[in-house]
Amino acid sequence: MMTQLTLDMGEIGRRYNVVGINAGRGLSEKIMEMGIVPGTEIKIISRFGGHVIVMVRGSVIALSRGISRKILISPLE
Partner 1 sequence: MLRGKVKAIEINREEIEGVIALVGATNVGKSTLFNVLTRQNVKVSNWPGTTVSKHEGLLEIDGEKYLFIDLPGIHGYYGLTLDESISKNYLLEGSYDLVIVIGDYSDLVRSLYTVILVSETFLKNLIVINKSDLIDQESSQEFDELISKRLGVESISISAIKESNIDHLIKRIKTLIKNKYSAHEIYVNYGDLEKYIQNIIEVLSKYSFDRSKISLRGLAVNFLAEDPDIESFIAKTVSKEDHRKLLEIRLTAKKELNRDLTEIIISSRYAFIEDLIKRSSVAKYVYKETYEKTWIDKIMEKPMGSAILLLGILFSLFLLIFIINTGFPLNIIFSLIGLEDIAVVIEENSLSGLLSKAFEYLSDYIKSLMSSYPEPLVGLLTDGIIAGVSAVIVFIPLIYLVSLGFAILEDSGVATRLAVGLHKTFSRFGFSGRYAYPVLVSLGCNVPGVMLSRGAFDSRERLAQILSIPFIPCQARLIVALAVAQALFSGEPLYQALLILWIYVLGIMISLISGFIIRRLVLKERYSPELIIDLPRIHRPYAKVVGWISWSYTKEFLIRAGVIIFILSIFIWFITNFGPEGYTTEFSQSYGYIIGSYVTPFLKPFNINNSIGPIIGLAFLQGFVAKEGLLSTLTIITGSEDPVSAINSLQLTASQMISILTFGMLYVPCLATLSVIYQETRSWRWTLFSIIYMLFIAYIVTLVTYHTLIIFMR
Site of interaction with partner 1 (CB under 8 A)? 25-35, 37-40, 45-51, 53, 55, 57-67
Nearer to partner 1, 5 or 32 (CB): 32
Give the DSSP H or E segment for 26.
helix 25-33
Burial 15-49 (b: 16+ CB within 10 A, else e): ebbbeebebeeeebeebeeeebeeeeebbbeebee
Q: How far is the CB of 63 from partner 1 (least distance, A)?
A: 5
Closest distance to partner 1 from the beta carbon of 17 (Å): 13
Nearest distance from residue 39's CB to partner 1, in Å? 7
Instruction: Please say which residue, 45 or 72, places its beta carbon nearer to partner 1.
Output: 45
> 3-class SS at 2?
coil
